[in-house]
Amino acid sequence: MESIIEFLIGHPYLSGAWTVVAVLLLIAQFQHMRNGVKSIVPQQVTHLINKEDALVIDMRAIADFNKGHIAGSKNIPQSKLDSSEKELEKYKNTPIIMVCASGVTAGPAASKLKKAGFEQVFRLAGGYQSWVGENLPVVRS
């Protein structure tokens, strides 16, 4: 314990940087909890798709979507999400899983849907990269 304290005192810039990173991570985590959008892993996504007919919304650009996407997913780029809410109305009671490239932009988009009255909105933690990283099947257009 003394060596940790000695290190922290001897390296104030590193200690400060670590503190800032830790605080930012905590803030990000609390924002996800506060907005009511749950992050789920690829195995949970497959469960929701197979057992509850979940809708997967892939927010990536159409070119990326065509290179590979989760089977059955619907491509709605982030820029068109607001104009697509009426089209999604029929899915208000259906689990919706938001997918982006790395899991960063899906959170705010999922929050918008949650605020618009969609009951079960999730985001894929790690985004499409986590899906591919788990060697799960993809469809190419």
- Please report, for the chain, the start and end positions of each structural domain, with discontinuous segments joined by +: 1-34, 37-133
Compute the chain's Rg from CA coordinates: 19
- Establish whether 100 is a catalytic residue: yes
Spot the catalytic one: 100, 110, 113, 125: 100
Q: Which fold has domain 37-133?
A: Oxidized Rhodanese; domain 1 (3.40.250)
- Judged against a pLDDT cut of 80, whether residue 117 lies above it is answered with yes
At position 4, the amino acid (one-letter code) is: I
Mean of the per-residue pLDDT values of the chain: 90
- Judged against a pLDDT cut of 70, whether residue 22 lies above it is answered with yes
DSSP state at residue 48: H
Predicted local confidence at residue 104, as pLDDT: 86
Residue 103 has a CB neighbour count (10 Å cut-off) of: 18
Stated pTM of the model: 0.75
